[in-house]
Chain A
């Protein structure tokens, strides 16, 4: 492993030195200082960060792709070998993989969808000034400041089938007559995780949209009012187009974050019962750190990376991000 890292660093340094040498040769040949063309400038500016990214992310990325093609188990050191796509075959032959993919899709769509709707509603409500807005704003934005671990514990205890406050409230309100085993029932266990994720993520959308809403010039709304524009029309004709870049970027980012997050699942349900609240990243974590099968976990990681990459490209294309916000 050590020699691989050294080789990788050496390669980057060699490329850098080669570039400098070529530059010097160009200067000598043409007997003049190299003038950076306007086109090349941006690339040179991002070069330091790019090199850092290559070092910090490039190597692990390449290594995980290599590991995904290998039998790589921590419990069998020195016994790594390429296994003819064996990890991918094992993955798709897993009896629970269909259930886990379905859970992942439900988890992401429901969480991000509700976060978006509630976040937008909150932002619209907070746009206008009212008495006590600051305090109210601070309270509703608070969940964003909590760690996922704390939120996970809160929900785990709240939805405890025997002592949980949720069952207690529902029984006192007469909505249920028997205690519900939220964390021990398929479907409900995933619902609890989704609720926790929604609760935690709404402030992010609200903060972003509130900032975007406050940048919309007031005279546009005034003009709309003069033209007799209704609230719904105002929203779809003015508000949404103005904040479209923010909407697209927040939806894209949040989808990727939610899809990749597994901390809430691990803390609240551990993926149970019988994988009914397991998602692809939490399953990857389980395979990596419970079974120590890093080859299999890497294969899953590679699939996730490709899927999310395709999603990002598709999403940006469909939403015409590069044209968003042009007026």
Chain B
């Protein structure tokens, strides 16, 4: 009997510390990554282990492939099962805030704003406040668009491209045409004809409207006669054979693969593609030019956002612990490690002088754009939910124009009409609200 008692006590002594350690805080968070890769998963799991050591809070890592992410988060949101911390793309925020799936973060952020770069405070958060009335995300890193160019092809064609000097849209289109060489099976651009096709086009159209998408009453501005002509020029790159015919069905993956694979000479995309170019191309094969300046006013209209910003879900039982996790992930040392791995630009001022992001680094052109006084962030599609249009109608209408099934006026007019209806409905449903204005760092 005595032996049994001693054995039981010994077992208890062994088990108790383990149990107590696990229940040190009693909190376990769920985190979902919407753009998983082995590199990202390794980073997050390592960082979560560090976080648990420091705080005692355990974090379970979950992920969903990017292509299914919007679906999965929507289903989780509708069934109140969203993880505590979710990685969120800016385009989903209209839907998420309207459905109350994420909580405002302004109170949590209060007092720490000065730690963040101007791009976060003056562009991302300012935009969220204008569109949704509060701050809902903390960026994971900053992403800005640029034009990836085949440096070797440009040299062969005698083109002198200087990132510091920049270029205009007219010069960019000329470059695309010159890089097209059917005999060598080369096309000037990685044209995007499928999902997401309207995004870079929308920015180009806004170079004719001063970065605005709507007038104050919600009427669409981006289908003006000048913008419609611009619509023809943009799509003319495809129609004139400067892009492969199959690119009418290209999305992100095909665009990037065909640029790094050697079929196309330019690619308009986010800074995150830099990591792919570094991995798959020689340094003397590629370079990054800034986004072209407007032919109208010389400003550089460029979207700046964070790809997978952190949000706290409304059904989180531990929002304070979730915030603690976000603070930990965005702590300068963790954030810079994350940004280097994923091709982003850090969000805290503390890390702004890292040589990796200096004038000789891969990100020099992107950093140059972020500090350019001519940089203007044009307006988004709107504060309403437009996911259905983004996944279908926007590129389908464009495809119909590319196939000659309708003219440019009808094609652009149909999309503009639908967006205008939604914008006006939003203004009517939200008295006191106003249309978004373009932003710049000098505002």
- Does A associate with B in a complex? yes
Q: Using CB atoms and an 8 Å cutoff, list the residues of chain A in contact with chain B.
A: 74-77, 96, 160-162, 179, 181-186, 189, 269-270, 272-276, 286-287, 289-293
In the complex, whether B71 has a CB less than 8 A from a CB of chain A is yes
In the complex, whether B255 has a CB less than 8 A from a CB of chain A is no
Asked if A270 and B246 sit within 8 Å, CB to CB, the answer is: no
Asked if B399 and A75 sit within 8 Å, CB to CB, the answer is: no
* In the complex, residue of chain B having the shortest beta-carbon distance to the beta carbon of A288: B71
In the complex, whether B117 has a CB less than 8 A from a CB of chain A is no
User: Assuming A74-B74, A76-B98, A274-B400, is B391 touching A184 (CB within 8 A)?
Assistant: no
Instruction: Give the 7 A-B residue pairs with the shortest CB-CB distance, closest first.
Output: A181-B245, A291-B388, A290-B391, A274-B399, A161-B246, A184-B248, A184-B246
Q: Pull 21 A–B residue pairs with CB atoms less than 8 Å apart, ordered by A.
A: A74-B75, A75-B98, A75-B387, A77-B77, A160-B246, A162-B244, A162-B246, A181-B248, A184-B245, A270-B195, A270-B249, A272-B194, A272-B248, A272-B249, A272-B399, A274-B403, A276-B403, A289-B71, A291-B387, A291-B392, A293-B388
* In the complex, residue of chain B having the shortest beta-carbon distance to the beta carbon of A278: B396
In the complex, whether B247 has a CB less than 8 A from a CB of chain A is yes
With a cutoff of 8 Å between Cβ atoms, the chain B residues found around residue A181 in the complex are 244-246, 248
* In the complex, residue of chain B having the shortest beta-carbon distance to the beta carbon of A272: B249
* In the complex, residue of chain A having the shortest beta-carbon distance to the beta carbon of B94: A75
With a cutoff of 8 Å between Cβ atoms, the chain A residues found around residue B247 in the complex are 184
19 A-B pairs besides A270-B194, A274-B405, A287-B388 with CB distance below 8 A are: A74-B77, A75-B74, A75-B99, A162-B185, A184-B244, A184-B245, A184-B246, A184-B247, A185-B245, A272-B193, A272-B399, A273-B193, A274-B400, A286-B391, A286-B392, A289-B71, A290-B391, A292-B387, A293-B388
Q: Using CB atoms and an 8 Å cutoff, list the residues of chain B in contact with chain A.
A: 71, 74-75, 77-78, 95, 98-99, 185, 193-195, 244-249, 258, 263, 385, 387-388, 391-392, 396, 399-400, 402-403, 405
With a cutoff of 8 Å between Cβ atoms, the chain B residues found around residue A274 in the complex are 396, 399-400, 403, 405
Residue among B387, B396, B402 with max Cβ neighbours from chain A (10 Å): B396
With a cutoff of 8 Å between Cβ atoms, the chain A residues found around residue B74 in the complex are 74-75, 292
Instruction: Tell me the minimal C-beta distance from A233 to chain B in angstroms.
Output: 50
Asked if A290 and B246 sit within 8 Å, CB to CB, the answer is: no
Instruction: Tell me the minimal C-beta distance from A321 to chain B in angstroms.
Output: 40
The CA-CA distance from A15 to B71 in the complex, in Å, is 38
Instruction: Tell me the minimal C-beta distance from B241 to chain A in angstroms.
Output: 11
The CA-CA distance from A126 to B245 in the complex, in Å, is 42
The CA-CA distance from A68 to B215 in the complex, in Å, is 37
The CA-CA distance from A76 to B78 in the complex, in Å, is 8
With a cutoff of 8 Å between Cβ atoms, the chain B residues found around residue A273 in the complex are 193, 248-249, 399, 402-403
With a cutoff of 8 Å between Cβ atoms, the chain A residues found around residue B405 in the complex are 274
The CA-CA distance from A182 to B248 in the complex, in Å, is 11
With a cutoff of 8 Å between Cβ atoms, the chain A residues found around residue B193 in the complex are 184, 272-273
User: Assuming A162-B263, A273-B248, is B403 touching A186 (CB within 8 A)?
Assistant: yes
* In the complex, residue of chain A having the shortest beta-carbon distance to the beta carbon of B193: A273
* In the complex, residue of chain B having the shortest beta-carbon distance to the beta carbon of A96: B396
* In the complex, residue of chain A having the shortest beta-carbon distance to the beta carbon of B238: A184
With a cutoff of 8 Å between Cβ atoms, the chain A residues found around residue B245 in the complex are 161, 179, 181, 184-185
The CA-CA distance from A275 to B395 in the complex, in Å, is 11
With a cutoff of 8 Å between Cβ atoms, the chain B residues found around residue A272 in the complex are 193-194, 248-249, 396, 399
Q: Pick the contact of B396 from A160, A182, A275 — CB < 8 Å?
A: A275
Instruction: Tell me the minimal C-beta distance from B387 to chain A in angstroms.
Output: 7
With a cutoff of 8 Å between Cβ atoms, the chain B residues found around residue A179 in the complex are 245
The CA-CA distance from A273 to B191 in the complex, in Å, is 14
The CA-CA distance from A76 to B74 in the complex, in Å, is 10
With a cutoff of 8 Å between Cβ atoms, the chain A residues found around residue B77 in the complex are 74, 77
User: Assuming A272-B194, A273-B403, A275-B396, is B391 touching A161 (CB within 8 A)?
Assistant: no
Instruction: Tell me the minimal C-beta distance from A187 to chain B in angstroms.
Output: 11
User: Assuming A273-B399, A290-B387, is B249 touching A75 (CB within 8 A)?
Assistant: no
With a cutoff of 8 Å between Cβ atoms, the chain B residues found around residue A293 in the complex are 388
Instruction: Tell me the minimal C-beta distance from B315 to chain A in angstroms.
Output: 12
The CA-CA distance from A23 to B311 in the complex, in Å, is 59
* In the complex, residue of chain B having the shortest beta-carbon distance to the beta carbon of A162: B244
Asked if B95 and A75 sit within 8 Å, CB to CB, the answer is: yes
Asked if A76 and B99 sit within 8 Å, CB to CB, the answer is: yes
With a cutoff of 8 Å between Cβ atoms, the chain B residues found around residue A75 in the complex are 74, 95, 98-99, 385, 387
Residue among B98, B388, B403 with max Cβ neighbours from chain A (10 Å): B388
With a cutoff of 8 Å between Cβ atoms, the chain B residues found around residue A291 in the complex are 387-388, 391-392
* In the complex, residue of chain B having the shortest beta-carbon distance to the beta carbon of A164: B246
Q: Pick the contact of A292 from B258, B388, B402, B403 — CB < 8 Å?
A: B388
Instruction: Tell me the minimal C-beta distance from B180 to chain A in angstroms.
Output: 14
Q: Pick the contact of B244 from A161, A270, A276 — CB < 8 Å?
A: A161
Asked if B78 and A269 sit within 8 Å, CB to CB, the answer is: no
With a cutoff of 8 Å between Cβ atoms, the chain B residues found around residue A77 in the complex are 77-78, 99
The CA-CA distance from A227 to B304 in the complex, in Å, is 84
User: Assuming A74-B78, A275-B396, A292-B388, is B98 touching A183 (CB within 8 A)?
Assistant: no
The CA-CA distance from A185 to B248 in the complex, in Å, is 9
With a cutoff of 8 Å between Cβ atoms, the chain B residues found around residue A276 in the complex are 403
Instruction: Tell me the minimal C-beta distance from B242 to chain A in angstroms.
Output: 14
User: Assuming A74-B74, A291-B387, is B98 touching A269 (CB within 8 A)?
Assistant: no
Residue among B98, B249, B388, B396 with max Cβ neighbours from chain A (10 Å): B249
With a cutoff of 8 Å between Cβ atoms, the chain B residues found around residue A161 in the complex are 244-246
Instruction: Tell me the minimal C-beta distance from A139 to chain B in angstroms.
Output: 31
With a cutoff of 8 Å between Cβ atoms, the chain B residues found around residue A160 in the complex are 246
Asked if B263 and A269 sit within 8 Å, CB to CB, the answer is: no
Instruction: Tell me the minimal C-beta distance from B330 to chain A in angstroms.
Output: 28
The CA-CA distance from A272 to B399 in the complex, in Å, is 9
Instruction: Tell me the minimal C-beta distance from B254 to chain A in angstroms.
Output: 10
Residue among A161, A181, A184, A290 with max Cβ neighbours from chain B (10 Å): A184
With a cutoff of 8 Å between Cβ atoms, the chain B residues found around residue A182 in the complex are 246
The CA-CA distance from A270 to B251 in the complex, in Å, is 11
The CA-CA distance from A76 to B95 in the complex, in Å, is 8
